[in-house]
A and B are shown apart, each in its own frame.
Chain A
């Protein structure tokens, strides 16, 4: 199921906090809904993310979805491996399928996000 140590938002992104850096990805529910991912379009290192705004796109055979950032901050690392192996997002959404690492601007933004239990309840309601 969804890892307990992550925070989730209503756009089905997850955040993993490691000191002042946050790792972002999409949830297992999101990857399942999308189907097999064929492209992930991510920003560059140094770009600024703004909470609630689009920072990239993820595309499956049938559909394309925007990636909305749950938090604000500066990109410090991008998962370049997704360029050649976008299917990693399906195979390991909470691990190797991570998307960007962000130096957080305002850690209090995390308070607005859901716990794993809250997120599961949210998904159950949406489905």
Chain B
């Protein structure tokens, strides 16, 4: 693995902000600037911005694009018939194994934008294009596209003051064109933190200007991948590679809600239907622990026997204790079930809970 690490357009911005830069999915990314907990709390209380330029952006267009993409993803693109709307989904192989999780944006007539995980860019591209009819045009726009997440209860205030006067903020899970200063962007009302906010899609050449515009606001804190992970895990949002991979189907991963029961005719449909019918033998559950920090691959025990492993685990800055997800046998997956996590030398009591671990955020306030 001597492959050279990639850098986002914001790499030098991170260095000048004294970020701690680490290798992540083939990229040199900031894990933190001042500290994970401080950045985490900035997002929960004000606004944080994240460099997510490493993520993959694909565009698909042409007659039949709806049918072609709908045959690849598990969720139903009929839900985003309206132009400007967006949908979270996974795509699976014939065995129901999850290839990646994605957000599909219906950006125009006969046109969709797909945002995917950085680590899966090539896999996803190869898979999708191999299953597209020739009439569909596919473009990998990742290299020329910048992506900056702006998240927190005050995120829309900041965006509002940068945009034109007649700017209307997109509804949740919608995307629209806007100008920030003079810069043309797409604003997607999506995110990975559990807070309200947007993800700004722009030309890679404009990423630095957008980043600096955002940082000109006193209430905005630059946040690294460390805080991105603690924020998403507090919400129980799954992370590809930790909570799901090719070896697990969406039903077992707790993502049955992105596989509508009535939908057929997509890759993996039969395999997923069989799991749904029989019931999964293992399920991804949330765990809260009494002390210590559970981490990826730590054993989960029941009656002294190992019954699973921690998928994602961290310290929750909001709650002040450890939280985790783990795959456990279905009969041990009910909320309230008492399990044990082996945190190195210590065996620590853990309770199965239904995520999100943190219930009250600016996003939950939005939908209530």
Contacts and interface: CB of A to CB of B under 8 A. Distances in A.
Interface of A: 35-36, 38-39, 41, 57, 59-62, 64
B37 interface: yes
A1 B344 CA distance: 34
Interface string B11-54: 00000000000000000000110011110000000000000000
Contacts of B36: 35-36, 60-62
The list of the 8 closest CB pairs from A to B, nearest first, reads A61-B36, A36-B37, A38-B315, A36-B35, A61-B315, A59-B293, A62-B226, A35-B35
Given A41-B292, A64-B293, A64-B344, 18 more contacts: A35-B32, A35-B35, A35-B36, A36-B36, A39-B293, A57-B344, A59-B292, A59-B293, A60-B36, A61-B226, A61-B230, A61-B293, A61-B314, A61-B315, A61-B317, A62-B32, A62-B226, A64-B295
Give the interface SS of chain B, mostly helix, strand, loop or mixed. Answer: mixed
Contacts of A38: 37, 293, 315
B291 interface: yes
A38 B36 CA distance: 11
12 contacts: A35-B35, A35-B36, A35-B226, A36-B36, A38-B293, A38-B315, A39-B293, A59-B292, A61-B226, A61-B315, A61-B317, A64-B293
Nearest to B20: A35
A26 to B, nearest CB: 16
Interface of B: 31-32, 35-38, 226, 230, 291-293, 295, 314-315, 317, 344, 346
Contact of A62 (B31, B38, B291, B317): B31
Task: With a 10 A CB-CB cut-off, give which of A38, A57, A62 has the most chain B CB atoms.
Answer: A62
Contacts of A60: 36
Nearest to A66: B344
A61 B313 CA distance: 10
Given A61-B317, A62-B31, A64-B344, A39 B37 contact: no
A41 B315 CA distance: 15
Contacts of B317: 61
A28 B291 CA distance: 26
Contacts of A62: 31-32, 36, 226
Contacts of A35: 32, 35-36, 226
Task: With a 10 A CB-CB cut-off, give which of A36, A41, A57 has the most chain B CB atoms.
Answer: A36
A35 B36 CA distance: 8
Nearest to A38: B315
Contacts of A57: 344
B80 to A, nearest CB: 36
Task: With a 10 A CB-CB cut-off, give which of B32, B295, B315 has the most chain A CB atoms.
Answer: B315
A45 B36 CA distance: 33
A61 B291 contact: no
Contacts of B37: 36, 38, 61
A39 B31 CA distance: 20
Given A61-B230, A62-B36, A62-B226, A39 B291 contact: yes
A35 B317 CA distance: 13
A104 to B, nearest CB: 26
A68 B230 CA distance: 28
Contacts of A41: 292, 346
Nearest to B321: A38
Contacts of A39: 291-293, 315
A36 B344 CA distance: 20
A36 B38 contact: yes
Task: With a 10 A CB-CB cut-off, give which of A39, A57, A61, A64 has the most chain B CB atoms.
Answer: A61
Contacts of B38: 36
A33 to B, nearest CB: 9
Task: With a 10 A CB-CB cut-off, give which of B38, B230, B344 has the most chain A CB atoms.
Answer: B344
Task: With a 10 A CB-CB cut-off, give which of B38, B293, B314 has the most chain A CB atoms.
Answer: B293
A29 to B, nearest CB: 14
A57 B344 CA distance: 10
A36 B317 CA distance: 10
Contacts of A61: 36-37, 226, 230, 293, 314-315, 317
Contacts of B295: 64
